[in-house]
Chain A
C-alpha cells in the first residue's frame, strides 16, 4: 500500500530564506509524486508533479522538488521565500496501477517579515 509522510506540520522561515518542506513516500512500484498548495478557504492547486524522467522537477511560483529513489523522498524547495508563499502544502503519491492519490497530512508554511 502507498503512503506519504510529511515531516513537520508547521515550518516557519524568514522572508528571503530557503524553504524546505520534507516528504517521504512508500510505494511498491515506481511512483507518481505531486505537491499541492492550499491557500486559506480555497481548494488545492497543483504545484508540480514527478512521473518519469528528470528527477528534478520545476513547478509554479519558483518551487522545485527532487525525486530521490534511494531515499524514497520528494522534498519541496524554494531558494527565497516570499510572504505570498504562506499556505499549506501537501505531498501526494500515486502510481500506474492505482486509481487513487494518497495525501500526506500537510505542512503549514509561515513566512516571517
Chain B
C-alpha cells in the first residue's frame, strides 16, 4: 500500500471552530488531493496540489483552504466549520508528474462531524 497517513482519523468539532486535517505521504509523489465523500455524491474534489506551494481549487472548494509547504504534507483547513462540512475526507496522491495516467492512491480517510 502507498504510504499515506491521514490525521486525525476521527474528529468532532463545533460549528464556527477552525479545523485542520493533515495528509502525510512517504512516496515523494508530486500530486496530492483532498476529496470529500458524501452519500449520493461519490467523491468530490476540494483542492489539489501539483507541487510545493502550488495548489488549485476543485469543484467544492468554498469554505476550505489548503497549504503544502513540504512535498510530503498537504493540509486541509476549514476556517470556520459548518454542519454542511460533516463528511468523510480522503487524501489521495498520484505520481502524475512522472506519468500522466497514474492512478490515485488513497488514505484511509478522516471522519469529521460538525455539531
Contacts and interface: CB of A to CB of B under 8 A. Distances in A.
Interface string A91-113: 01010100111111110000000
Interface residues of B, number: 27
Nearest to A107: B42
Interface string A72-104: 000000000000000000101010100111111
Interface string B85-115: 0000010101010001101111111000000
Interface residue SS majority, chain B: strand
Contacts of B35: 103
Contact of B42 (A32, A41, A100, A103): A103
Contact of B107 (A9, A43, A104): A43
Given A34-B103, A46-B105, A90-B43, 15 more contacts: A9-B40, A32-B100, A42-B108, A42-B109, A43-B90, A45-B106, A46-B104, A49-B101, A49-B103, A51-B101, A99-B48, A103-B35, A103-B44, A104-B42, A105-B42
